């Protein structure tokens, strides 16, 4: 029986959904069915209590959001649910029917994981929905630079301010590296640390000597792992000049007055 007939059948259809999370290094596969399912040589394990849906609509043909409820005991939640996830966690959902036919019903990116009691809600946006929600960059009249460090407007060469090293020790979000070269304290603050093996990265919130405090722990980071660190910027003209010698491309207005002339009450001066 064709897949469409199974889907429309009130009694003959017995759908089962296959959920696949694709991370930088590992894939997690689950099914809403009661027994393991093998599809394209991959095994999808049962996950009690797992639910898929509902979806929201971005356009008439492309739903924008999908929610999956899953036990917090599952490995994908343990790896991703209690810290900022890496940049890349892709979600695919397949729907199979009694006739053995399978359709890919969802392909998107995970946007949030929210543990609630014994379950967690994983939300995903579709590729189209993710693009529609992208904020359009705007230029503000402000003292600090508007550019993103190393972008096309900033024009600083990223490779010039990188430092390759290895991890000496890890304690949650605190990472000690083997060396920082000649960099002073806070040179890497607001920069990034990238694991060379897979490109997973974290924002550096603080740096004193070789000790870094990250925005969130890595999913998995071990001593001797090779990493690359990139200098950070606080978007002030002082740092732009002293650290990057890039004042010509500074995207702020450091001489901007503290008071707004358009918001200040005008007063007439009296002649004596």
Task: Check which CATH number belongs to the domain holding 37 and give it.
Answer: 2.30.110
CA angle at 205 for the pair 203 and 211, rounded to the nearest 5°:
100
Say whether pLDDT at 201 is over 90. no
- Percent of the chain with pLDDT strictly greater than 70: 79
* Average pLDDT rounded to a whole number, residues 26-36: 92
Domains contained in the chain, number: 2
Say whether pLDDT at 61 is over 60. no
Under DSSP, the state recorded for 240 is H
Same domain membership, residue 183 and residue 237: yes
Whether cis (ω within 30° of 0) applies to the bond prior to 131 is no
Same domain membership, residue 197 and residue 117: no
pLDDT of residue 156: 96
Range name among 29-33, 53-57, 116-120, 219-223 with the lowest pLDDT average: 53-57
C-alpha–C-alpha distance, residues 134 and 148, integer Å: 16
Gyration radius of the chain's alpha carbons: 25
- List strands edge to edge, sheet with 42-46: 37-39, 42-46, 27-31, 16-22, 90-96, 102-116, 119-126, 63-71, 51-57
Same domain membership, residue 218 and residue 117: no
Task: Check which CATH number belongs to the domain holding 245 and give it.
Answer: 2.40.10.170
Please report whether residue 86 resides in a domain. yes
Same domain membership, residue 70 and residue 10: yes
Count of positions (residues) in the chain: 272
* Average pLDDT rounded to a whole number, residues 89-98: 85
Please report whether residue 84 resides in a domain. yes
pLDDT tens string 222-241? 999 999 999 999 999 999 99
Same domain membership, residue 172 and residue 122: no
Same domain membership, residue 94 and residue 43: yes
Same domain membership, residue 171 and residue 121: no
Please report whether residue 261 resides in a domain. no
Same domain membership, residue 207 and residue 103: no
Domain enclosing residue 224, as ranges:
158-249
pLDDT tens string 145-180? 999 999 999 999 999 999 999 999 999 999 999 999
Same domain membership, residue 228 and residue 164: yes
Same domain membership, residue 123 and residue 9: yes
Please report whether residue 191 resides in a domain. yes
Please report whether residue 141 resides in a domain. no
Same domain membership, residue 59 and residue 98: yes
Say whether pLDDT at 129 is over 70. no
Handedness of CA 230, 206, 215, 235 (dihedral sign): negative
Sequence-ordered alpha helix ranges (H) in 45-176: 75-80, 127-132
Q: Given 132, 149, 181, which residue is the final one in a domain? A: 132
Same domain membership, residue 189 and residue 82: no
- For the question of whether the overall pTM of this predicted structure is more than 0.85, the answer is no
Please report whether residue 271 resides in a domain. no
For 49, residues 6+ apart whose C-beta sits below 8 A from its C-beta are 69, 70, 71, 119
Please report whether residue 153 resides in a domain. no
């Amino acid at each position: 029986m064709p897949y469409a007939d199974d889907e429309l059948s009130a009694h003959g259809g017995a759908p089962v959904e296959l959920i696949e999370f694709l991370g930088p290094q590992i894939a997690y596969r689950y099914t809403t069915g009661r027994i393991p399912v093998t599809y394209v040589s991959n095994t999808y394990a049962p996950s009690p209590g797992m639910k898929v849906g509902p979806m929201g609509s971005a356009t008439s043909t492309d739903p924008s959001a999908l929610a999956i409820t899953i036990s917090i005991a599952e490995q994908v939640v343990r790896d991703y649910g209690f810290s900022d996830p890496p940049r890349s966690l892709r979600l695919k959902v397949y729907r199979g029917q009694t006739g053995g036919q399978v359709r890919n019903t969802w392909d998107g990116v995970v946007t949030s994981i929210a543990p609630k009691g014994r379950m967690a809600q994983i939300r995903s946006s579709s590729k189209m929905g993710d693009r529609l929600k992208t904020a359009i960059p705007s230029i503000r009249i402000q003292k600090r630079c508007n550019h993103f460090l190393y972008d096309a407007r900033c024009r600083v060469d990223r490779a010039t301010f990188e430092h390759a090293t290895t991890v000496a020790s890890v304690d949650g979000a605190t990472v000690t590296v083997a060396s920082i070269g000649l960099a002073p304290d806070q040179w890497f603050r607001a920069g990034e640390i990238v694991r060379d093996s897979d490109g997973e990265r974290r924002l550096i919130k603080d740096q004193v000597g070789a000790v870094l405090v990250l925005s969130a722990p890595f999913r998995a980071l071990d001593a001797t792992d090779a990493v690359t660190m990139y200098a950070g910027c606080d978007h002030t003209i002082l740092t732009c000049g002293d650290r990057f010698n890039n004042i010509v491309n500074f995207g702020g207005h450091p001489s901007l007055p503290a008071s707004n002339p358009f918001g200040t009450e005008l007063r007439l001066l009296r002649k004596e």
